[in-house]
Amino acid sequence: MTAFEAVIGLEVHVELLTQTKLFCSCSTDFGAAPNTQVCPICLGLPGGNTPRLNKKAVAYAIKTALALNCQVAQEITFDRKNYFYADLPNGYQITQHFHPMGKKGFLPVNVAEKTKNIGIHQVHLEEDAGKMFHVGDILSSPFSRVDFNRASVPLVEIVTEPDLRTAEEARLFLQKLRNTLLYIGISDCKMEEGSLRCDANISLRPLGSKELGVKTELKNMNSFRAVYRGIEYEIERQTGILQEGGTVIPETRHWDEEIGATKSMREKLSESYRYFPDPVLLPLKTDTKWLEEILYSIPELPDSRYKRFTEDYGLPPYDAEVLTSSRDLADYYEQALQTYPEHKNLSNWIMSELMGLLNANNMEITACKVEPPELGDLLKLIDQGTISGKIAKTVFEEMFTTGEKPEKIIREKGLTQISDEETLLKIVDTVVTAHPGSVEDYHNGKNKALGFLVGQVMKETKGQANPRLVNKLLQKKLSN
Ligand code: ADP
Ligand code: ZN
Ligand code: MG
């Protein structure tokens, strides 16, 4: 049987975080009542309205192209992609077909402990279409409704080279891309709200072959998991066809999350769109000074940060990966380091306690009430012996819900660690008297018994005893 290799290329649409649309001042806010954020320009109504290009959208598209290592166009031009559909008021979409904003870039992705550069074919700016609503299935729905609030919202489209080989690679690429776009702040990249949408082109070819096979295009995947599952499914489906000697039909397929399968939508029309340079939107020269400004506005990107976290802070790869997985989280870590420069200890706390609470409350780090220096202060209090690590967790939970400072919580709740020998000795005496069996075990060489007795003292003091001191006192007591 012939062995096949999958070839995958992604087309990713990202809604830009601009306040207004691409050519008018209508709002881009998500979730408003249908057709309330529209005007003659984005509705394509006749009249003397002149489109005005959104400078921020252009800057964001250039920023994206630069962050993805592309060559940036010297001149900004727009083209009309002509087709008819009810969600497209002008009868054409404004896009950059002939001269995309960025070309020939790449994004490094870590795949199975190796770095693979995934080629970026192009990055271009375009406008979104409106959104259609149907009752149930599109073909049996008695009517269609359309909301033009989304019409002409600025999008950046990122087209990869067919460099991906597995569903896992595609997922990793998409995560890296999303992370990078969040770092540069051009989009909120919410897959569930559709501000990041991914189409996957998939084909198979005999292993070793250099030619590209017939591809299908997969749409409607609304999560990373859906992208992974959809591609897996499509690879399996195509493998089945080819192994039976059949041929793959070039078509657009729809991922159905509920049944976990792809369904044929329409046969692919071989890129038969008609494109024309837009006669109204004249070419714009990019100003070198402005380009430089955009370049300087790009923050340190995840790869460089990862490298610094492992090399300068000595963090294990896993920690560095988690902490740099979001710019806000990495910022939080580095801000807390200013007060508490114990790299690994701080990383442990953020990854287990802080992220644990964030996950449990379904919260983003930006909504966290604990300021980074306050977390640093808390960890210092542990190291100084003021509170035990265990109590610190309770204090931290309180900080997390109330936003109070650690010192205040410790003072008000009387949580200071008991390091007074006399006080502890009394409790040690009581515990030893109450558990003669364990004392005997200890004398018979069962070291576990000591742990149990320490635990009892901790319990008596509600976790406030200094565990190291308790250990010492108990050992001394038992050796008498
Ligand atoms: P189309 O003409 O169908 O729009 P393009 O050449 O513009 O196709 O490519 C669109 C996307 O599909 C790109 O991401 C590209 O890498 C990918 N692609 C192109 N050909 C193939 C193929 N045979 N198999 C898999 N992906 C492909
Ligand atoms: Zn408008
Ligand atoms: Mg194309």
The tens digit of pLDDT for each residue in 81-119 reads 999 999 999 999 999 999 999 999 999 999 988 999 999
Query: Does 266 have pLDDT greater than 80?
Result: no
> Is 407 touching ligand 1 by the criterion CB < 6 Å?
no
Q: Which atom of ligand 1 is nearest to the CA of 160?
A: 14
How far, in Å, is the centroid of ligand 1 from the Cα of 116?
19
Query: Does 480 have pLDDT greater than 80?
Result: no
> Is 100 touching ligand 1 by the criterion CB < 6 Å?
no
Query: Residue 463: CB partners within 8 Å, gap ≥ 6?
Result: 388, 390, 391, 394
Q: Which of 227-231, 254-258, 468-472 shows the highest mean pLDDT?
A: 227-231
> Whole-angstrom Cα distance, residue 283 to residue 281?
7
Query: Does 416 have pLDDT greater than 90?
Result: no
How far, in Å, is the centroid of ligand 2 from the Cα of 60?
20
How far, in Å, is the centroid of ligand 3 from the Cα of 271?
7
Burial of 444 (0-12, 13-18, 19+ CB in 10 A): exposed
Beta partners for residue 118, in sequence order: 107
* Ligand nearest the Cα atom of residue 162: 1
Cβ atoms of 193 and 54 within 8 Å: the answer is no
* Residue 137's pLDDT band (cuts 50, 70, 90): confident
Q: Which atom of ligand 1 is nearest to the CA of 161?
A: 16
Q: What is the mean pLDDT of residues 27-47?
A: 92
> Is 154 touching ligand 1 by the criterion CB < 6 Å?
no
For 421-478, CATH number?
1.10.10.410
Percent pLDDT > 90 in the chain is 76
* Ligand nearest the Cα atom of residue 272: 1
Query: Does 223 have pLDDT greater than 70?
Result: yes
In DSSP notation, 334-370 reads: HHHHHH---HHHHHHHIIIIIHHHHHHTT--GGG-SS
> Is 32 touching ligand 1 by the criterion CB < 6 Å?
no
Cβ atoms of 470 and 424 within 8 Å: the answer is yes
Burial of 431 (0-12, 13-18, 19+ CB in 10 A): buried
How far, in Å, is the centroid of ligand 2 from the Cα of 150?
10
> Is 216 touching ligand 1 by the criterion CB < 6 Å?
no
* Ligand nearest the Cα atom of residue 250: 1
More confident residue, 263 or 176: 176
Name which residue sits closest to atom 8 of ligand 1, judged by CA: 271
- For residue 64, the model assigns a pLDDT of 98
pLDDT, one tens digit per residue, over 352-375 is: 999 999 999 999 999 999 999 999
Query: Does 246 have pLDDT greater than 70?
Result: yes
Which residue in the block uniquely carries the two structure tokens 């990107």? 301
Q: What is the mean pLDDT of residues 324-348?
A: 96
Cβ atoms of 18 and 54 within 8 Å: the answer is yes
How far, in Å, is the centroid of ligand 1 from the Cα of 201?
6
Query: Residue 420: CB partners within 8 Å, gap ≥ 6?
Result: none
From 157, 201, 210, give the residue whose CB has the most ligand 1 atoms within 8 Å, as the site to mutate.
Answer: 201
> Whole-angstrom Cα distance, residue 138 to residue 144?
8
* Ligand nearest the Cα atom of residue 248: 1
Q: Where are the domains of the chain?
A: 4-289, 300-413, 421-478
Q: What is the largest CA-CA distance in the chain?
A: 100
- For residue 203, the model assigns a pLDDT of 97
pLDDT, one tens digit per residue, over 181-193 is: 999 999 999 998 8
Written as one letter, the residue type at 425 is L
* Residue 31's pLDDT band (cuts 50, 70, 90): confident
> Is 271 touching ligand 1 by the criterion CB < 6 Å?
yes
- For residue 418, the model assigns a pLDDT of 82
pLDDT, one tens digit per residue, over 290-310 is: 999 999 999 999 999 999 999
Q: What is the mean pLDDT of residues 315-321?
A: 94
> Whole-angstrom Cα distance, residue 372 to residue 389?
18
> Whole-angstrom Cα distance, residue 176 to residue 179?
5
> Is 160 touching ligand 1 by the criterion CB < 6 Å?
yes
Q: What is the DSSP secondary structure assignment for residue 142, as one 8-state letter?
A: S
How far, in Å, is the centroid of ligand 2 from the Cα of 350?
44
